[in-house]
């Protein structure tokens, strides 16, 4: 068997990323673009001793769950990997990803709830970041990176972002071409424009951030863009002079309009700065928070920590139902947003602390008896030292929110070894059309250790 060869494969199941699984000549095949119970012709793209990766090139027997992709870039763009399945199957793939990963880690929750599915499959993303590049005709383009490469796939629209965002993106591309602005070249590390980020809110207002290698002065850009798109309420430059493939730099320079974008979540008002985190799917974010609050089973006399709290969105929602909440967050801009959000919503029983959770929780450990901790870390999961202190504090209940079930399972295993028991797990479809899935897990401290 060789890379590039084509085989006929019968698909027997799905893997964690929604790829079809097949077996042939003692090898397990992971087949991109193939559905369970289909027979496909697939080309080998990568070969290992016991397994191989392949890409569907023709479907010989089609599943009734196959759906035509609405995206013209689905063959090359690495953004969405579940455009070819119906939504019912997409939900099953995500539920399976959660239950299989838990089972592999030997975690047995008392209950795994059904996935909280999304009413909206397309146009849901409230943030999009696209790198600039050049096409074969040497014209400026922007797009997503091709699967497993650093090659940009030029796009004019993205199905999972609102159409207003695609219109602004097209306008910016035209502007860059007409003004003959240079784009950053990774090889030579020269050129001005690196990427564009657009955030939008529930009212379809937008914040535009141009990522540049060096300071760029052009008063005409903001005027021109906002005259054509009055919903663009805020424009920033993000300065990234480093020769790195990390997209965003540390410094933001305000160019036009408001310095924050306004968002409404569960009847609370929020301001968000360009550097602050916000869940990417507004309606699913509300479902996620409601489920976290249900699993928390709060009472009015309880003290709570919301670790990795961002702009304080869960913190303030929790505060309505308990005695006091500490929110801990490392990004300074996000903590400033959180404090403004606290004031704007007139909520008093909250304190936001800026710093790494693993350090700040140590200080709370010395002065407070905490009844519940909610944590929602980035994809890499929690810091080990942070988990050690959570266990030392013998906090009776934990609600762990995660966008990466693999790292969540690693952390949950540690909590189980330290006397916690897993109660409920709820998967949430935060990222329709992709195989990513959010989840919430509730844990309690076993009674003999309290
Ligand atoms: C997945 S986001 C969750 C934010 C918030 N809970 C929400 O729902 O919007 C993770 C957050 O953790 C923050 N963060 C990352 N590492 C951290 C650390 N070591 N200590 C504190 N916060 C951290 C990030 O800046 C980000 O705001």
Minimal-distance CA residue to ligand 1 atom 26: 310
pLDDT of residue 174: 93
| CA 349 / ligand 1 centre spacing (Å) | 21
Does the CB atom of residue 6 touch ligand 1 within 6 A? no
Once rounded to an integer, what is the mean pLDDT over residues 88-93? 97
308 Cβ closer than 6 Å to some ligand 1 atom: yes
Nearest C-alpha to atom 18 of ligand 1 is from which residue? 356
Ligand 1 pocket member 334 (CB < 6 A):
yes
The residues that are catalytic are 403
Q: Whose CA is nearest to atom 11 of ligand 1?
A: 308
Q: CB atoms < 10 A from the CB of 158, how many?
A: 23
* Angle between the N-to-C axes of helices 384-392 and 405-417, in degrees from 0 to 180, rounded to the nearest 10: 40
328 lines ligand 1 (CB under 6 A): yes
Of the chain, the percentage scoring pLDDT greater than 90 comes to 86
Regarding the beta carbon of 314 and ligand 1, being less than 6 Å apart is answered yes
Rounded distance between C-alpha atoms, residue 391 and residue 389, angstroms: 5
Nearest atom of ligand 1 to the alpha carbon of 310 = 27
Q: Quick one: average pLDDT of 185-207? A: 94
The pLDDT-based confidence of 212 (bands split at 50, 70, 90) is very high
Task: Judge if the beta carbon of residue 356 lies within 6 A of ligand 1.
Answer: yes
pLDDT digits (tens, 9 = 90+) for 365-378: 888 899 999 999 99
Residues 6+ apart with CB under 8 A from 418: 387, 391
Binned at pLDDT 50, 70 and 90, residue 419 comes out as: very high
Task: Determine the Cα angle at 27 with ends 23 and 33, to 5°.
Answer: 55
pLDDT value of residue 449: 61
Can you name the residues that pair with 52 across neighbouring β-strands? Answer: 29, 47
Q: What is the mean pLDDT of residues 428-433?
A: 98
The 10 Å Cβ neighbour count of residue 23 is 12
Structure tokens at 379: 């994809």
Tell me which of 49-58, 143-152, 190-199, 267-276 is least confident.
143-152
Q: What tokens appear for 236 in the block?
A: 């920033």
Q: Judge contact between 144 and 152, C-beta under 8 A.
A: yes
Check residues 137 and 207 and name the one with the higher pLDDT: 207
Does residue 210 surpass a pLDDT of 80? yes
By three-state DSSP, how is residue 168 classified?
Answer: helix
pLDDT of residue 395: 96
Residue 258 Cα to ligand 1 middle (Å): 24
Q: What is the pTM of this model?
A: 0.94
Q: How far apart are CA 388 and CA 111, in angstroms?
A: 26
- Does the pLDDT of residue 435 top 90, yes or no? yes
Are 70 and 91 in contact, with CB atoms under 8 Å apart? no
Residue 222 Cα to ligand 1 midpoint, Å, equals 31
Out of 250, 268, 275, 277, give the residue to mutate to test ligand 1, the one with the largest number of ligand atoms within 8 Å of its CB: 277
Segment 307-359, tens digit of pLDDT: 999 999 999 999 999 999 999 999 999 999 999 999 999 999 999 999 999 99
Least confident of 48-57, 195-204, 358-367, 425-434: 358-367
| Ligand 1 touching residue 263 (CB < 6 A) | no
What pLDDT is stored for residue 43 in this prediction? 97
Q: List, for residues 274-309, the tens digit of each pLDDT value.
A: 999 999 999 999 999 999 999 999 999 999 999 999
pLDDT for res 93: 97
Whether residue 405 has pLDDT greater than 90: yes
Query: Measured in angstroms, how far is the CA atom of residue 320 from the centroid of ligand 1?
Result: 21
Walk me through the domains of the chain, giving residue ranges and CATH numbers.
1-66 (2.40.50.140), 92-120+281-449 (3.40.50.150), 127-265 (2.40.50.1070)
The pLDDT of residue 450: 60
pLDDT for residue 218 = 86
Q: Which of 308, 313, 330, when mutated, tests ligand 1's pocket best, judged by the most ligand atoms within 8 Å of its CB?
A: 308
Cβ–ligand 1 contact at 361 (below 6 Å): no
User: Is any atom of ligand 1 closer than 6 Å to the C-beta of 438?
Assistant: no
Residue 354 CA to ligand 1 centre (angstroms): 11
Averaged pLDDT, 225-254: 95
**Cα(383) to centroid of ligand 1, in Å?**
12
Distance of CA 291 from the midpoint of ligand 1 (Å): 19
- Interval 139-188: pLDDT, tens: 888 888 877 777 788 888 899 999 999 999 999 999 999 999 999 988 89
- Copy the structure tokens of residue 140: 């400026």
Q: pLDDT band at 34, cuts 50/70/90?
A: very high
Tokens of 45: 């793209």
**Residue 307 Cα, ligand 1 centroid: separation in angstroms?**
7
Q: What average pLDDT score do residues 384-409 get? A: 97
Instruction: Please tell me the residue having the least CA distance from ligand 1 atom 4.
Output: 310
| pLDDT at residue 52, as a whole number | 97
| Average pLDDT of span 225-238 | 97
Highest mean pLDDT among 94-103, 180-189, 439-448: 94-103
Mutate which of 378, 390, 404, 408 to test ligand 1's pocket (most atoms within 8 Å of Cβ)? 378
Q: Is 408 in the pocket of ligand 1 (CB under 6 A)?
A: no
CA-wise closest residue to 398 among 375, 381, 382, 367: 375
């Amino acid at each position: 068997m060789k890379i590039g060869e084509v085989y006929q494969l019968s698909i027997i199941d799905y893997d964690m990323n929604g790829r079809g699984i097949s077996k042939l000549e003692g090898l397990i095949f992971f087949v991109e673009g193939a559905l369970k119970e289909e027979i496909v012709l697939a080309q080998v793209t990568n070969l290992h001793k016991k397994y191989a990766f392949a890409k569907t090139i023709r479907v010989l027997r089609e599943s009734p769950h196959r759906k035509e992709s609405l995206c013209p870039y689905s063959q090359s763009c690495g953004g969405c990997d579940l455009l070819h399945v119906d939504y019912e199957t997409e939900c099953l793939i995500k539920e399976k990803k959660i239950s299989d990963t838990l089972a592999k880690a030997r975690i047995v929750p008392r209950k795994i709830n059904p996935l909280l599915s999304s009413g909206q499959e397309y146009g849901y993303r409230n943030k999009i970041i696209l790198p600039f590049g050049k096409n074969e005709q040497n014209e400026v383009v922007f797009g997503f990176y091709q699967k497993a490469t650093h090659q940009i796939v030029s796009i004019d629209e993205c199905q999972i972002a609102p159409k207003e965002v695609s219109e602004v993106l097209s306008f910016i591309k035209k502007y860059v071409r007409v003004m003959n602005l240079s784009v950053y070249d990774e090889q030579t590390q020269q050129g001005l424009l690196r990427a564009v980020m657009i955030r939008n809110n529930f009212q379809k207002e937008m914040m535009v951030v141009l990522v540049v290698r060096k300071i760029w002065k052009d008063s005409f850009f903001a005027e021109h863009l906002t005259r054509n798109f009055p919903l663009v309420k805020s424009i920033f430059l993000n300065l990234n002079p480093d020769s790195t493939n990390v997209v965003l730099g540390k410094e933001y320079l305000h160019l036009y309009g408001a310095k924050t974008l306004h968002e409404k979540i569960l009847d609370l008002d929020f301001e968000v700065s360009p550097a602050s985190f916000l869940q990417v799917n507004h309606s699913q974010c509300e479902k996620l928070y409601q489920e976290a609050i249900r699993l928390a089973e709060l009472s009015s006399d309880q003290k709570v920590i919301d670790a990795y709290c961002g702009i304080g969105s869960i913190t303030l929602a929790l505060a309505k139902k308990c005695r006091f909440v500490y929110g801990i967050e490392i990004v300074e801009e996000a903590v400033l947003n959180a404090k403004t959000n606290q004031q704007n919503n007139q909520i008093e029983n909250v304190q936001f602390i800026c710093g790494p959770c693993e350090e700040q929780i140590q200080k709370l450990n010395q002065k407070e008896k905490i009844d519940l901790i909610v944590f929602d870390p980035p994809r890499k999961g929690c810091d080990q030292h942070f988990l050690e202190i959570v266990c030392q504090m013998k906090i009776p209940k934990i609600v762990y929110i995660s966008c990466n079930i693999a790292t969540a399972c690693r952390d949950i295993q540690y909590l189980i070894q330290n006397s916690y028991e897993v109660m409920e797990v709820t998967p949430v479809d935060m990222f329709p059309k992709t195989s990513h899935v959010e989840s919430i897990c509730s844990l309690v401290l076993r009674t003999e250790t309290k």
